Copies of this chain bind each other. A is one copy, B any other.
């Protein structure tokens, strides 16, 4: 089955203590779509400007990402630039130029409205609602978010949560949303807001799922060096949804393994700037690391 992914499609200029890379392909939907593409067919919903480099369209195409839902509009592509601190955890935004993204209205081609798996990658909750409004009975809907929407669009986000099967956020966002320092207490509170599956991402510490079958402690793949963590969270949820869309059996049967696949896909993302490393790997590279992770966690 295929996955519909909506989110930002951007050009990212990223500075780390070791290097600087201008105008890389970025955005939550780009990262999630490439990650999901290792496992299942992907339909991308997004917007770019006329300045969007052809090579990035070709990159999507190499990953067999359906671009019927990608609008190319007069104007500039969304451009984000940011800088990471030495520990690679804290980053600050240097500039945000919204360009065509400012007035983006995600309109779904007819053929997309029956897609069974829907990933509402990080984007304004109002746009996540708008995409869901156009879908006909999807099988499994997951949304990601970021601190910005907790700050400026909380009512929209709270209205979205009951419409979701799964909700993914990181630990600091979970703390901000629930005022709970304890991850397990936060998970419980978020369930009460609607979603049946809640996943809290903890960066290099892995992630925790709380679902109908209880908790799952998902490991992160050990990385000796992190080149650039931008997009790791999007890769995680993209890989997870891609894996789920093709796995046989129920969501409950597959979601743990799907998270591990997402986690490993995210590990490749961290090893290069933007999508440079992720676009060089093959499914077999992911399978290999998943097997390694099995060994690294066995006791």
By a beta-carbon cutoff of 8 Å, the part of chain A in contact with chain B is: 86-88, 181-185, 188, 202, 204-206, 208, 214-219, 222-226, 256-257, 259-260, 293-299
**Least distance between A229 CB and chain B CB atoms (Å):** 12
Is there contact, CB below 8 Å, between A256 and B298?
A: yes
Point out the residues of chain B lying under 8 angstroms from A257, CB to CB: 299
Point out the residues of chain B lying under 8 angstroms from A298, CB to CB: 256
**Least distance between A247 CB and chain B CB atoms (Å):** 12
Point out the residues of chain B lying under 8 angstroms from A226, CB to CB: 182
CA distance A235 to B257 in the complex (A): 32
Is there contact, CB below 8 Å, between A216 and B183?
A: no
Point out the residues of chain B lying under 8 angstroms from A185, CB to CB: 224-225
**Least distance between A202 CB and chain B CB atoms (Å):** 7
User: Lowest 3 A-B CB distances belong to which pairs?
Assistant: A205-B205, A256-B299, A87-B181
Contact of A299 among B188, B225, B259 (CB under 8 A): B259
Given A184-B224, A226-B182, residue A296 in contact with residue B88 (CB < 8 A): no
Is there contact, CB below 8 Å, between A299 and B224?
A: no
Given A185-B224, A204-B183, A225-B185, residue A217 in contact with residue B215 (CB < 8 A): no
Given A218-B299, A296-B214, residue A182 in contact with residue B224 (CB < 8 A): yes
Point out the residues of chain B lying under 8 angstroms from A293, CB to CB: 217
Given A202-B205, A299-B257, A299-B260, residue A222 in contact with residue B215 (CB < 8 A): yes
Is there contact, CB below 8 Å, between B182 and A217?
A: no
Contact of A182 among B182, B218, B225 (CB under 8 A): B225
Point out the residues of chain B lying under 8 angstroms from A182, CB to CB: 223-226
CA distance A74 to B218 in the complex (A): 52
Closest to A181 in B: B87
